Amino acid sequence: MIKRAVKAGKVTIGGGGEISVQSMTNTDTADIAATCAQLTALEKAGCDIARLAVRDMKDVEACRTYIDRFDMPLVADIQFDYRLAVACADIGFAKVRFNPGNTSAAGVRELAAACKANGCPIRIGINGGSLEKDIKVRYGGVTADGLAESAIRTVRMLERESFSDIVISVKASDVRLTVDAYTKLDRLCGYPLHLGITESGSGRDAIVKSAAGIGALLLAGIGDTIRVSLTGDPVYEVEVGKSIVRAVGLDKNYVEVVSCPTCARCFYDLEGLVNKCKQLTEGVNKPLKIAVMGCVVNGPGEASDADVGIAGGKDKAVLFRKGSVIRTLPVKEAEETFLVMVEELVRG
């Protein structure tokens, strides 16, 4: 279902547009130097929207600097004190996120009024760990139905205040629970959905959890913006997020380098050549495909859609374009020629 479009600064969330990739700073928000450095790194990495935790009025004042300095839309993340959310809407944040599990009904009404006056969208950010007590009692714990009900209940509260610039998230650390909750919510409302697996952890396991959950939803046509939650450098969240969007085919504007896993038929340094190709193509926004194959079994045939490719052999290697062999050369010469072809392709 195509959701209504909500503008967060220069980025449109929903409306059938591109999937935006978000992240969140982990510096002290009041530390202007450290936070500016991290926001700069996120912007350079291609982060579409960045979120900051706002804990008190000191943070609010520091955020004036970030709003003035950065073109990237910034989101205020609020827990417990709705008055901070009101202050953030007043100073020009592109969006405010609040948690219904720790915000009173009166606070929601005041926040809706402030955001409406300032043209500031709201994200209803529901987490399994802070789901409202009455909902947990009704469903016997944290369930997909309960997460979806919390979202719809909060949506209705905002709608009663004539507020509709709404984005919703229903995150949990369990992948299946999260996927089920978003799937139910997608059928129940027309507001854009912010996808993520919360508290996913660090390293390989966290990346796999996020890719499995977010990827499954995107493949089902669910979701409008994503944030990959990883312990560590938030820039890595952006890199992983972009990779997920590309893997499910929703971003074609990049250079894809494909390669085989290798076996005893591979007689050259395939991994080294792959790394050189990635260095040459990093940051290039063109819909290109480059194939690095270990042997002719996986060569021109299985990589017939590649714009340029190489398939190694014991003494010689073949170079090909769109499945057609164009040259056969000694392996070392073939590698060097192939890299020149890649460089010409990305520059052309």
88 marked as binding residue: no
d(CA 218, CA 185): 14
Exposed e or buried b for every residue in 2-38, given b needs 16+ CB within 10 A?
A: ebbebbbbebbbbeeebbbbbbbbbbebbebeebbeb
Other beta carbons within 10 angstroms of residue 269's beta carbon come to 13
Q: Per the structure block, which two tokens stand in for 211? A: 């890719």
**Residue 36 is labelled as binding a ligand:** no
61 is in an annotated binding site: no
Q: Can you give the chain as a three-state secondary structure string?
A: CCCCCEEECCEEECCCCCCEEEEECCCCCCCHHHHHHHHHHHHHCCCCEEEEECCCHHHHHHHHHHHHHCCCCEEEEECCCHHHHHHHHHHCCCEEEECHHHCCHHHHHHHHHHHHHHCCCEEEEEEHHHCCHHHHHHHCCCCHHHHHHHHHHHHHHHHHCCCCCEEEEEECCCHHHHHHHHHHHHHHCCCCEEECCCCCCCHHHHHHHHHHHHHHHHHCCCCCEEECCCCCCHHHHHHHHHHHHHHCCCCCCCEEEEECCCCCCCCCCHHHHHHHHHHHHCCCCCCEEEEEECCCCCCCCCCCCCCEEEECCCCEEEEEECCEEEEEEEHHHHHHHHHHHHHHHHHC
- Cβ atoms of 170 and 181 closer than 8 Å: yes
> Cα(first)–Cα(last) distance of the chain, in Å?
38
Q: Is 302 annotated as a binding residue?
A: yes
Q: List the binding residues for [4Fe-4S] cluster.
A: 260, 263, 295, 302
Binding residues: 260, 263, 295, 302
